[in-house]
Amino acid sequence: MASAASPVRDPVVAVRGVSKTYDGGIQALQSVHIAMPHGRMTTLLGPSGCGKTTLLKIIAGLLPADEGEVLVRGTPIKGPGPERALVFQDFALLPWANVLRNVAFGLELRKVPRREREQSARIYIERVGLGGFEQRFPHELSGGMKQRVGLARALAVDADVLLMDEPFSAVDEQTRRQFQEDLLALLQQERKTVVFVTHSIEEAVYLSDQIVILSPRPGRVSRVVTMEMERNGTPEEIRRDPRYLDTVEDIWQGLKRYLV
């Protein structure tokens, strides 16, 4: 089942009073406060246009906030940083580079020696299930395989915080479910702090430790749901668990009022 959130001590990521208005006067976010604990997945969920991706880009340092601040381990961010890695919705792979170089690219930008960065890249290529595809190019890969390359690249730089913007939205439902299971298994090994954006209530409930529900524009924190459901069973057992089903329905009933 789920419960209201309790205060988070020493959050890895703290969003404090963040507001953002775009040119033309469109206010995307208004006074957003969120605390994201170490080694946990926080999912941003809400209706289209509520500012989920805007908030993720502010946390990534790709957009400035008009008001408020984002702190990572207590330090205000001033832009992108090595402690954060972003997994894009559209893969963002280098079309002229093979899988090995794409995965190693973040380390290449950090001037890591070639042997060291390729050794690290090969480890994460294996972990995401692409062993044997190191020399393939993006045009030779399926959409699901491209997304695995993007995930491996983000993991390879060993950032504390993994930012994921609807990473599974471009793949079919079967691949999406497999990705969800693979991601949970990877995070058990990596223990990353993850900020995840999705439109799917079911995906949020299946994956998350806490779910931050944003209101329609301007996005504000409407509710924070802390997941208390154990994930010891098979994926099928979890998705049939009454606690999972009840939480999905509870969140849906809360969001449905924004659609009227």
3-state secondary structure the chain: CEEECCCCCCCCEEEEEEEEEECCCEEEEEEEEEEECCCCEEEEECCCCCCHHHHHHHHHCCCCCCEEEEEECCEECCCCCCCEEEECCCCCCCCCCCHHHHHHHHHHHCCCCHHHHHHHHHHHHHHCCCCCCCCCCHHHCCHHHHHHHHHHHHHHCCCCEEEEECCCCCCCHHHHHHHHHHHHHHHHHHCCEEEEECCCHHHHHHHCCEEEEECCCCECEEEEEEECCCCCCCHHHHHHCHHHHHHHHHHHHHHHHHHC
Higher per-residue pLDDT: 121 or 177: 121
pTM above 0.85, yes or no: yes
Alpha-carbon distances of 225 from 44, 207, 238, 249, rounded to whole Å: 11, 13, 18, 13
pLDDT at 163: 94
Higher per-residue pLDDT: 171 or 69: 69
- For domain 6-83+159-259, the question of CATH label 3.40.50.720 is answered with no
> Which tens digit of pLDDT belongs to each residue from 220-250?
999 999 988 777 778 888 889 999 999 999 9
Asked whether the predicted pLDDT for residue 43 surpasses 80, the reply is yes
The full set of domain ranges for the chain reads 6-83+159-259
pLDDT band for position 2 (cuts 50, 70, 90): low
